[in-house]
Each structure stands twice: as C-alpha cells, then as structure tokens.
Structure 1
Amino acid sequence: MGFLTFAVAGGALILAGSLEAIASSATIPSPSPPTTPPQSKPQTTQSKSSFIYFLFTSLLSLLFILNSLLSLSDAATSNDRVGSAQQLQVAAIAALFLLYSFTGLLSSLTAAPFPPSLLNLIGLFAFTEEFMYFYLQRKDTVGIENRYFDLLLVPILVCVVSTLLEIHNPESVFPKLGRGVGLVLQGLWFLQMGVSIYTQWMARGCWMKERSRGNYTVKCKGHSEYHRARAIATLQFNCHLALIVVLVVGVYSVVVRRIGGDFSRYKPLGAEMQRQVESQGRFTLDSDDDGEEEGRGEGNVDGNKAGGEVELGVNGYGAH
C-alpha cells in the first residue's frame, strides 16, 4: 500500500473526525435570555456541518474502494490469493461506509430525511465489520503488524460504542463527539503505522516483506527484537492516547463554555473538611460537662441571664 496511502488515509480520518466533532458541537444551542425569541440558526449550522461531513466521508469511501481495487489487481497479478481475499473485504467495508455517507447526504439535502436510527444502524454495521476485519486478520501470526492491528481495535471500538449510544439517545451530542474522537485516533494511528512500517524509523532488527500491494508482514531477527518492536508499538499508542486526552479536554472546555454551564453550585474541594477542622479546633480546658453544670448554676442565680453568659462590671461593681 505504501506510506503515501497510509498518510492520506490517516489525514482524511483525522479531518473526518474533526468534522464530526464540529457537527456535534453545532447542535448545542447557545445560551440566550428568556426574552429572546428562538432562532433557526443552530439548525442551519447543524445541517451545513452534517452535509460537509457526509460529503467528505463519501469521497473518502470512494478513495478506499479505488485503492482496494488497485490492490486487488496487483494481488491477482502476483498470484496472491490471501491479498485478493483481503482487498475484497476492504472493498465491502468501504461500500458500507459509502452507503452510510450517501444516506446521510440525502438526509441533509431532502426535506423528508431518513430516520436517524436507520442511518446509525448502517454506520454500526460498517464499524462492526471494520472491527471484525482487523480482529480476525492474521496473515502472519508472528508479524509485528498484528500488534498495530490489535491496538487499532481500540478507536474502532470507541466508534462502535458511540454509534450504539446514539441509536439509544439520538438527541445527545456526546455520542457524535465520541465517534469524532475515535475517528481522529484512527487517523493518528494510521499515520503511525505508515511511519513505523514503510519508513526507516522501523524498529531495529525488523524488516518488511511485501507479497503484494495490500499483503505484507513485518519480520524480526529474533525473540528479543519481536518483544522490543511490540513494546515500541504500545508506547507509541500510549503517546497517541495522551494526545487525544489533551485534545478532548480542550474541546470539552469549548463545548462547556458554549453551553454556558451553571457554576453557582461549585464548591472548592475540601471546603467541608476545612469547616469541620476549624470547628473541632475551638476547644477549652474545661470539659463539656463542667461547662453545662456551670451554665445551669449561673442560670439559677439570675433567671434573666443566659446560662453561658458572664456579665462584666466596671471598677469591680456589676451593672444594676
């Protein structure tokens, strides 16, 4: 497939995930005074963002289908049956995503859109098939590329769960935001796979063996080289997750600011504990029982005085 294919696919997935996150944030209404009449601007922004997202994913699906057909032709020329079977599966997955994008595109253009449950169901089938493709792909049981495919299952699973949540609650914006994050992580990991497999930055002691354009494996010299290459892949994925966490925190802050959250009930951490410590820190040398008995005694002397009060006098004489 080549580094250029991975780079284009990764960049396109990052852009698609960003568009999905933007489309989800466009559905959040901006806070306005009660006297302001409702406007249709958020709906217009939402439809425009959805149209751009589905148009881009349609073009991306067509590119995947075209790439799989080229790889299928190369596998047939090289007499690679495994590569031919893999490219047929890739073409089927891309066709499902094309159906999902085309359905969403029609829903954005027509006055009577398709039900959101139907659109999300097609997307769920597409993401599930993609998950099963990478989960069951074992061209070479000891190939380092299998470690990269296993780690790729994490962002795909995020997309599957987000789509399920959107089917359950189509009005919520957070499933779309989660799917956008999953797509961005997929794109980043595709870029990392291209760099780690098709460049000189491959793990030391490993090399790539390519049978056809879409059928390749990464072999290493010995057992220690395999372990080091797998550990490097895991470390790279953890770095990508840390980057995604930083991006999500930034996006979440922007979304919360747009929603206009209620911070009047905010309480500093440990405020209740601090009050308890201050109340417990006020103590006297007398015990509680002695204080109660003294208060009762003073109350018996002068009924008008409170039990715990002490009346002060001037020059040794009390007030009369």
Structure 2
Amino acid sequence: MGLYALCFAGSGFILIGAWEALVSSYARLNPSSSPPPNQTTRTKPFFSSVSSFAIALFSVFFIINSIFSLIDALNSNDRVGLPLQLEIIATASLFLLYSIASLLIDFSDSLPLPSSILNLIAFFAFVQEFLLFYLQRKDPSGIENRYFDLLLVPITVCIFSTLLELGSPKSNFPRLARGVGLILQGTWFIQMGFSFFSNLMAHGCSFHGKSRGNYTVKCKGHPEYHRGRAIATLQFNCHLALLVVLIVGVYSIIAPKYRAFGNYMNYRPLGSELQQLDNQTQFTLDSDDEDDGEIKEEENVEKQKAAVLVSASGVNGYGSH
C-alpha cells in the first residue's frame, strides 16, 4: 500500500474511533440524552451520519487503492497479489455496506430495517478483517507477519465489542470499547507504514516487493529476525500504553464538566416545594391524654376478666368438696 496510504488509512481509523468513543462517553455521562426504554441505543442522526460518511469515505479509499494494486499485480504477473487485493476489496465492501445501511436507517423512516442489522454487518466485517491479516502469510519468515499478528489484538476488541452491542444495544460500553479498538488499529497502521516503507525499519532488514500490494521484509540472519520481532512487540506495547494514558487524561478532563452540567440540569429549586407545604392544610397530633385513657380502660377490662376467672375457680372448688 505504501507509506502515505497506510498513514492516511491509520488517520481515518483514529478519527472514526475517537468520534465513536466521544459519542459513547457523552451518552454515558449524560443519561438524560438516552432514548426511551422501548427504543434501542441509536444516537441522533447527526452523530451517526458523521461516522457513516467517514466509514464510507475510507471504505471507498481502500477499494480504489486495492484496484490500483490489483492492476499492478496483473502487470507484474504476481499470482499472490491478485487474490490478496480481492480479499481487501471484499472486506472494504462490507464496511461500505455498513455505512450505507446506517445512512438509510438514519434518513429513511419507511425503511423496514432494524438497528441490530448494523451491528451484524459490522461483526462480519471485523471477522473478515481478522481473517485477512491472520491468513496473510506471503513470506512465513518475514517480520511483517509479527506486525500483522499484533494488529489482530485491536481487531479482536472490535469483534467482541460489536458482539456485545448486538446482545445489549442499550449499553454504551461496547461502543466505547470499539472506538478504542479502532484508535489502536489506526496508530498501528501508521506504525506499520513507517516500519515498512521508511528509514525507521529495523537494522539489518530490508524491504522486498513483488507488486504494489505484495511485499515482505527480510532480514540478514536469525539475530536480525529476532531483534525485528522484539522491536515490533515493544512498539505495540508503547502504542498501547500511550493510548491508555490519553484515554485516562481525556476522560479525567471531560467527565467532571459533563457531570457538573448534568447535575445543573437535574437541579430543581426548593421554592416551589416549600410553597406547596405552606399551602397545605395544617394538621394536629392527637393528645397523649386520649392515649392514656384508652390504656387505662384496657387495664380495667383485663382486671375484670381476671376477677371473673378467680371467682369461677372458687365456685368450682367448693362444688367439688
């Protein structure tokens, strides 16, 4: 794909993931903006349409880029690059279908499509992306396979979060997790671009390409291969740590503001309630003397019952004699 193509694709993933995370965080911190109980958690058409347009744009970009790579593979007589680009086109087409279906649901009230169909399409799209990078072994010894294996981690996060959203559409946490997974995918795409197509490649390794989309990164010997894979793992850990720090920092800044705003919106003045209490009729408590009188009457009744029982027992005893 090239350095610029991977950087552009990574930037798109980062923007879409950040938007998804911000929208889900806003819905989480502002429960008043959630839909009624009889509806699923679908954001407002503006928020969802922005994501849909962005996904459609970058899906078309992947398809166009794969078409150019497909033509280059045909000119280079590359039998491996040809089916590889067809797989990329199929994966990008699923994401394009997801964006089109989302736009149709948002702007067409008469379209008989449930909201859960979007999560189902997204689930199959992420599964297809997972299989694309999992089965991509053009050169088994190339260190690019280590980068592809590490890319499976954020893709797996997107798969499980989409599956959870399919089961519980009213929760905002699956969408937040999917946004974080998309951001990590974007940063790792950019890292792969610099690691494959720039001078930041591991020392002792070189780039070899048969066509525009079919390439491998070979190293001189076993120590260079081992160092290249170790550098890839270290880079991924740095990306993950940076993402965690950024998420915690952004959340610590945004959460207090939204909570304060939410508390202000839920605040109700006490003046109206106090006025209602003033307008109510006055009430009095029953006197304690009445309670004392009732207690004394109950005690007298008990004494009379006891006297009757004693007299009755005396009569029975006399009769027995």
Aligned partner of 1:69 among 67, 70, 79:
67
Between 1:43-52 and 1:154-163, the stretch displaced more is 43-52
> Using the alignment, how far apart are the partners of 1:256 and 1:2 within structure 2?
39
> Using the alignment, how far apart are the partners of 1:219 and 1:23 within structure 2?
42
Q: How big is the shift at 1:22? A: 2.4
Q: Which residue of 2 aligns with 1:170?
A: 169
Q: Partner amino acid for 2:92?
A: A
Q: Deviations over 1:233-266 (max 9, x none)?
A: 000000000011112223443564335699xxxx
Q: How big is the shift at 1:112? A: 4.5
Q: Which residue of 1 aligns with 2:276?
A: none
Q: Which runs of 5+ in 1 are unaligned?
A: 33-37, 263-320
Matches within 5 A, 1:1-320: 1-28=1-28, 30=30, 46-112=44-110, 114-253=113-252, 256-257=255-256, 258=258
SS in 2 for 1:27: helix
> Using the alignment, how far apart are the partners of 1:237 and 1:2 within structure 2?
20
Percent identical residues: 57
> Using the alignment, how far apart are the partners of 2:114 and 2:43 within structure 1?
19
- 2:134·2:149 contact (CA, 8 Å) conserved in 1? yes
TM-score normalized with structure 1 length: 0.75
> Using the alignment, how far apart are the partners of 1:168 and 1:45 within structure 2?
17
Q: Partner amino acid for 2:137?
A: R
- 2:105·2:115 contact (CA, 8 Å) conserved in 1? no
> Which one has the bigger helix percentage?
2
Q: Which has the larger radius of gyration?
A: 2
Q: Partner amino acid for 1:5?
A: A
Q: How big is the shift at 1:68? A: 0.5
- 1:124·1:160 contact (CA, 8 Å) conserved in 2? yes
SS in 1 for 2:148: helix
Q: How big is the shift at 1:136? A: 1.0
- 1:22·1:49 contact (CA, 8 Å) conserved in 2? no
SS in 1 for 2:80: helix
TM-score normalized with structure 2 length: 0.75
> Using the alignment, how far apart are the partners of 2:171 and 2:132 within structure 1?
29
- 1:26·1:46 contact (CA, 8 Å) conserved in 2? no
1:229 to 1:28, Cα distance in 2 relative to 1, 3 A: same
Q: How big is the shift at 1:191? A: 0.3
> Using the alignment, how far apart are the partners of 1:112 and 1:23 within structure 2?
26
